[in-house]
Every structure is written in C-alpha cells, then in structure tokens.
Structure 1
C-alpha cells in the first residue's frame, strides 16, 4: 500500500508539472523561441542527462533482442520525437485550456491501443465512451469562440494536440513492458536518443538562432523548467510508475491536468474558461469515464481483492 501511495503521489506531481507548462510555455514561444527549438533543447538536454546517469547507475543493463529493440525504437519515435514536435507545435497555435482538454483523449487511445496491441477486450460501454469522447473532442477542435482573433490557427493547433495525445497513449502501452523488464534509465536513455534523431533535424535552426543574450531571467527559468521538470523529471516519474501500475492508471492521471491547467491559466491571465469549453470538456470527461469504467466481478470465496502491484 505504501508503494501505491508513492505511485499516486508521483503521478499527481507529473499532472501538476504538465498543467503549469500550458501557460508557462506561452511566455517563451513564439516571441523568444519557436516551438521546434524548445523541443530540441528539451530532448537533447534530457538525452544527455539520461545517458550520463545510465552510465553510472546501470552500466551493464542493455536492451536485448530484436523485439525489445524495435519496441524501444517505436517508443523513441512516437513517445519522444513525434510526441513533442506535435505538442509544442499545437500549443503554439491554440489556447492553453483547449490544449489541456484535448490531452484527456489519451486514456481512450490507451484502451484502443491496448485492444490492438495487447488483445484486451473492448466492451459496448467502452465503445460508447469512445464515441462520446470523440464527439466532445471534435466540437472542441472545430468550435470557434471569442479568442479566435488571438488564435487564428487554433483548429490546426487542436489537431496537432489531438495527434499528440494519440501517440502519447500508444507510447504508454508500448513502453510498459520495457519499463518492467529493464532499468528505467536504460529505457529512457535509449528512447531519448532515438527521439533526438527525430526532433533535431526539425528544430536545430530555431535553437541556434534564438537571441539568448536578450532572454529575461524569467524566460531562462521557464526554459529550465521545461527541460528539467517537464522533460527529465516527468518522464522519469511516469516511467517509474509504469513498473508498478498499468498504462491505464497513467492515462487516468490526465484527468486532473485540465482542471489544474484551467486554474493556472486563469490565475495568470493566459486564457478564459467559457461555457462552450466547459460543455465540450464534460463530453470528453464522460467519454473517458465510460471507457475507464469496469464492472466489478462478483466476489467468490477464492478471490482476492485486486490492488496496485506493490
């Protein structure tokens, strides 16, 4: 049970890290640096960090076998390179609240990916949930509101965020077997190395041409936050949690993100919550709840209570 509390605490802290990023990153891009430049700094910084730590912490641990190496390659491409390029490109074009709400689609993707990759059963309730959640996401993506002037390309940005949530959901399913088999730093060093090969060709120019000499202190602090907290710490905590919890539980912890993101964005004056967005959020949450809902089996004399793995 103690380990279960640590898992939940780690996942809530990750949700808080992600929620703050929706507003903080708006200070940096596109005024001081383009979204692809931020991605390059994040991934290269994390790749170097995890490679060095892995060398000292788990020097003999290696990913072996064709299947595991291909899985690690897919995780690096989808979960690091493509995921981060889509997220920051989308957030640059849309509002913090819209982006955070669309991220809640990830648990639905986890269920679909688990059904395809892990042969898990999709019930009628889950099919209904997938439909309701996608309707809410569709209304949010295509809807226009009072902030249309501030975000003229919000529809494209929302589509990027939806694609980002999709590849992140697939990454959670693909990476879980690796995290249970190898040391966390072994997996993270590999996937960030692969991700760097994907991201750097797109963002190196933005990263090199930024006017670093004129960055205010708070911009340096926010970039540091995105590299240290959003990338290194968040991925480390997420992947540690995968040793003890299912990908679905990590998906569930996307729920608090939009709530925290709304509070932070409104408090900082970065965004406004409208009734339209609230209704779209309700549809998405209902869909995700239906997808995550499981009928409790009748207790038998020989059955034990199912808990988070200790």
Structure 2
C-alpha cells in the first residue's frame, strides 16, 4: 500500500512537471531572439539555485533523511552535480537555440520522442526493461501527442520536414533523455530539493565559466519586459519546481514512466498558445487529447516503481 501511495505521488509530481515545463516552449519562443540561450540559462540557474537553497533551509523535511537544510554528505562526490548540470543545462541551451526558428508545437513534437529514448537508455543504465504494460501507454500517448501537434491532419504529418531548429532541439532532447535515469543512478540519499538546488548551483558556475563573455556583453538594462517575466517563470517554475518534481518522481517511478508525462506537454502548449493569443487548433484535436488522457490513466494503474 505504501509503495502504491509513493508511486501515485511520483505521478502527481510529473503531472505538475509537464504543466510547468510547457510554458517554456511558448514563452521561450517569445524571447528566443531577444537574449542568447547561454546568458538566459546562466541567470535562470542562479535564480533557481537561490530559490531552491532557501526552500531547503526553511522547509521542514526538505533535506536529507527528513531534516532541514544541507548536510555534509550531500556534497559527497560533487562531480555528480556537475555532470547532471551539464545534461540539464545543455538541454535548455539547445532548446532555446532551437526555438529561434522552431514553432513551439513543432518543438513539442520533437519532445515527445524523449520517453522512448529514455526507456531505451534505462535498460543499460538502470536495468529497467521496457515491459508491455509501459510500452502500450507510451505508444498510445505518442499517438495522441502526434494527433494534437499535427491537428489531426495525416497530410501534415506526412509532409513533416525537420528544420534546423527542430534538429538542434532534438540533440537537447537526447541530453534530457539521459538526465532522467542519471538522476536515479547518481543519487546517494539526497532529497529532491537538495539535488535540484545543487544541480542548478553547479549549472550556474559551469555556464558562467563557459559563457562569461556573452553574459557580460548582454545589455541587461535594455532587455524588454517580456524577457524578465520569462526569466522569472523559467527560474521558479520551469527550473526550480520542475527539477524538484522530476527528482522526486525519479525516486519513485521507473525512468520510462517519468518521461512518459512529456506526452501531456503538447496539450499544455496549446493552452499556453491560447492564453498568449496565438490561436489554437479547433475541435479536431480532442481525439488526441483523449488518447493522452487514456495513456496517463493506464500509467496511473501500473504504479509499481
């Protein structure tokens, strides 16, 4: 019973994750040509690290073994956080580089390939074989996501041409697919918030060292307001919350199930596009939405971690 309850918590965390990261696509496309991806990622990691460190220090049970604050053991083998930061930050840099030319929904289409890549990597890395019970909802969810993204038009799917933005973002999704099983493989008892705080802190240091010239060359005072709004959202929701949610879920669910929730992202992207006044597809997308919901319900039934 406890195992089922913990797995359900993992599913809830990933549902929140999918809602949070979806805003990155629409908001990221709005500001992709206003600021470079490296300065944006560097500053978002700094802001997220500060928010997460504050949460670790203040929230009861946020640290190791249900305690508050950081422990000396959390810094054991610090190279782990550097490696995770490279994967996580590399994904963001390639995402925003791709969004300079790719439409948010097109990027969402590429993102739906991540669960299958994660499932393939989880076998050699974690010994987690892709069972039929997981493969079936992965396939159903993929079909639903493709239906939504291409607005139920088979012709649009058949005419798909991969542009440079989509190709760049695909490389980022490969890094994201590796990141999920690595979270579980490298964890040594750290809580979700502690891991997320240290990963983003290491990410800030690494990307500042790499792109310091570009960061200093950015005219921060001249940036439009939408960049700062996007930066705040990315730091709090798409980085701090999302990283914590994924780490929390990765300790309770197989990696393939963790990444399965990416199939909900296109639905959230459509809602974001509607909220931003960019227009959305009509009723034709509802069958795809229904397939995604069915896939997630199937996953909720198979709750063994």
TM-score scaled by length of structure 1: 0.70
Q: Is the 8 A contact 1:75 1:191 kept in 2?
A: yes
**2:163 aligned with 1:143, yes or no?**
no
Change (3 A) 1:120 1:308: closer
| Unaligned ranges ≥5, structure 2 | 59-67, 150-155
Q: Answer yes or no: is the 8 Å Cα contact 2:32–2:96 preserved in 1.
A: no
- 2:64 alignment partner in structure 1: none
Q: Identify unmatched segments of 5+ residues in structure 1.
A: 145-153, 295-304
Cα deviation per residue 1:43-74 (whole Å; 9 max; x = unaligned)?
122234444555663332424766xx554443
- On the 8 A contact 1:184/1:239 being kept in 2, the answer is yes
1:99 positional shift = 0.7
Q: How many residues align?
A: 273
Question: Partners in 1 of 2:124 and 2:105 — Cα distance?
Answer: 31
- CA shift in 2, pair 1:61/1:202, >3 Å: closer
Equivalent of 1:11, from 11, 14, 17? 14
Q: Which moved more, 1:42-51 or 1:159-168?
A: 42-51
Match of 2:199 in 1: 191
Q: Over aligned residue pairs, what C-alpha RMSD do you find? A: 4.1
1:74-100, CA deviations, whole angstroms, 9 ceiling, x for partnerless residues? 32221x221221111112221100111
| Secondary structure of the corresponding residue to residue 73 of structure 2 | coil
The correspondence for 1:77, drawn from 82, 86, 100, is 86
Q: Structure 2-normalised TM-score?
A: 0.71
CA distance in 2, matches of 1:122, 1:236: 25
Deviation at 1:208, TM superposition (A): 3.6
Map 1:1-80 onto structure 2 (within 5 A): 3-31=6-34, 33-51=35-53, 53-54=55-56, 57-63=68-74, 69-78=78-87, 80=88
One of 170, 174, 184 as aligned partner of 2:178: 170
Q: 1: distance between equivalents of 2:222 and 2:304? A: 49
| 1:260 counterpart residue number | 268
Equivalent of 1:91 in 84, 99, 111:
99
Distance 1:163 1:117 in 2: 19
Q: Pick from 118, 133, 136 the counterpart of residue 126 of structure 2.
A: 118
